[in-house]
């Protein structure tokens, strides 16, 4: 067993398993903490508790990597845009103020996120040396859609909010890149040894805008990680066959597959990169036989490739922890 960091750096064929949103809503031990901490942002800023939550799935399943319990929207929060997590509705951000955004600076940004870095330090101290600790960010485009309130529905973005302010948007993306690189560097300094970039709304970008809003911003961050000698995983969710172009241009160490990507297509088209994930999290709500059959399909397909076993998105709140346990056991015995 090699650490995730080793697999990503050396593109080794080796067993490694972790799950997106492994620390969170489906675990009874998390729900207990959450019931006593109603404000989600405050919980992310509680170093002791966020470290404890990050370690819960490691204790339960002995996974190969921990991912820090935090949120991509901690960045807009640190840039002084009010963020609230409303039950049954999700994140709500106050109206974007361009002037306020420009008034931010690296010192106050880092100070506001200091508890997150402290949580990483605490987690690293308690984590076995051979296990990786994953820090993460939201990609500039994904954060932009949240910050401008441009996401209308699950699969639709209000392009008017972006196209009518093109100059401002480009400046926001540039500034976001600087803050995100600072956030990555602070996470590395605190003990993260792998970075994942979540471009959750990449699939909402018009094909002609992909170079400007997806490939270029992700490339800048990937290059920054490479300069820092830190392995980086990209998750450009929803890009479908544009995954191939993304991989060719951005050149991450690993690419996380969403559940709409056919694994056989991925094997044939995504080269010189470690592949990660792909399994539909909704499958874990179906019969155990279905789950294991589908897992076997991914494992058979990627048998002779460097592959990290994971899902094509985060674990769902309704997931039975015991089913997760049986899936991990199946993978380890495969």
The DSSP secondary structure of 274-299, one letter per residue, reads EEEE-B-GGGGGS-HHHHHHHHHHHH
Reduced to 3 states (helix: H, G, I; strand: E, B; else coil), residue 29 is: helix
Helix orientation angle between 47-61 and 28-35, rounded to the nearest 10 degrees: 160
Instruction: From the candidates 25, 158, 159, 209, give the one annotated as an active-site residue.
Output: 25
Reduced to 3 states (helix: H, G, I; strand: E, B; else coil), residue 84 is: strand
Q: Is-catalytic flag, 21? A: yes
Secondary structure percentages of the chain, helix, strand, coil, to 5? 55, 15, 35
Instruction: From the candidates 26, 146, 213, 298, give the one annotated as an active-site residue.
Output: 146
Q: Is-catalytic flag, 105? A: no
Phi and psi at 298, nearest 5°, equal -65, -45
Instruction: From the candidates 21, 77, 117, 213, give the one annotated as an active-site residue.
Output: 21
Instruction: From the candidates 71, 193, 199, 258, give the one annotated as an active-site residue.
Output: 71
Q: Is-catalytic flag, 59? A: no
Strands 83-86 and 151-153: unpaired
Q: Is-catalytic flag, 34? A: yes
* Structural domain count, the chain: 1
Q: Cβ atoms within 10 A of the Cβ of 90, count? A: 11
CATH code of the domain containing 325: 3.20.20.210
pTM over 0.75: yes
Domain of residue 41 covers 4-333
Q: Is-catalytic flag, 146? A: yes
Q: Cβ atoms within 10 A of the Cβ of 156, count? A: 10
For position 2, what pLDDT does the model report? 59
| C-alpha to C-alpha distance for 133 and 123, rounded to whole angstroms | 8
| C-alpha to C-alpha distance for 40 and 52, rounded to whole angstroms | 15
**Residue 109, H or E segment:** helix 106-112
For position 79, what pLDDT does the model report? 98
Angle in degrees, CA 217, 77, 22, rounded to 5: 75
| C-alpha to C-alpha distance for 249 and 147, rounded to whole angstroms | 26
Q: What is the pLDDT along the chain (334 residues), one digit of tens a residue?
A: 457 888 788 887 788 999 999 999 999 999 999 999 999 999 999 999 999 999 999 999 999 999 999 999 999 999 999 999 988 788 999 999 999 999 999 999 999 999 999 999 999 999 999 999 999 999 999 999 999 999 876 678 888 888 888 889 999 999 999 999 999 999 999 999 999 999 999 999 999 999 999 999 999 999 999 999 999 999 999 999 999 999 999 999 999 999 999 999 999 999 999 999 999 999 999 999 999 999 999 999 999 999 999 999 999 999 999 999 999 999 999 9
């Amino acid at each position: 067993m090699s650490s995730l960091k080793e697999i990503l750096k050396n593109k080794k064929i080796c067993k490694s398993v972790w799950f997106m949103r492994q620390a969170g809503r489906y675990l009874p031990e998390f729900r207990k903490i959450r019931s006593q901490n109603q404000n989600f942002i405050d919980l992310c800023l509680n170093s002791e508790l966020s470290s404890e939550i990050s370690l819960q799935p490691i204790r339960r399943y002995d996974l190969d990597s921990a991912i820090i319990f935090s949120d991509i929207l901690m960045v807009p929060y640190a840039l002084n845009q009010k963020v609230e997590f409303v039950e049954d509705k999700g994140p709500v951000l106050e109206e974007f103020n361009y002037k306020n955004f420009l008034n931010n600076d690296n010192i106050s940004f880092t100070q506001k996120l200091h508890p997150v870095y402290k949580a990483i330090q605490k987690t690293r101290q308690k984590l076995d040396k051979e296990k990786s600790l994953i820090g993460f960010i939201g990609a500039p485009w994904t954060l932009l859609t949240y910050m401008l309130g441009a996401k209308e529905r699950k699969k639709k973005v209000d392009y008017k909010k972006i196209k009518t302010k093109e100059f401002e948007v480009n400046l926001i993306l540039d500034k976001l890149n600087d803050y995100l690189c600072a956030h990555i560097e602070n996470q590395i300094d605190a003990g993260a040894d792998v970075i994942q970039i979540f471009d959750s709304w990449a699939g909402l970008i018009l094909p002609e805008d992909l170079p400007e809003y997806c490939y270029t911003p992700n490339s800048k961050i990937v290059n920054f990680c490479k300069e820092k000698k830190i392995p980086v995983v990209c998750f450009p969710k929803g890009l479908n066959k544009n995954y191939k172009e993304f991989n060719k241009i951005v050149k991450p160490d690993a690419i996380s597959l969403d559940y709409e990507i056919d694994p056989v297509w991925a094997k044939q088209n995504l080269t010189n990169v470690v592949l990660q994930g792909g399994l539909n999290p909704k499958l874990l709500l179906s019969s155990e036989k279905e789950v294991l059959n589908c897992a076997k399909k991914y494992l058979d397909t990627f048998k002779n490739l460097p592959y990290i076993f994971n899902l094509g998105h985060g674990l769902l709140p309704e997931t039975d922890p015991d089913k997760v346990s049986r899936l991990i056991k199946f993978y380890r015995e495969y």
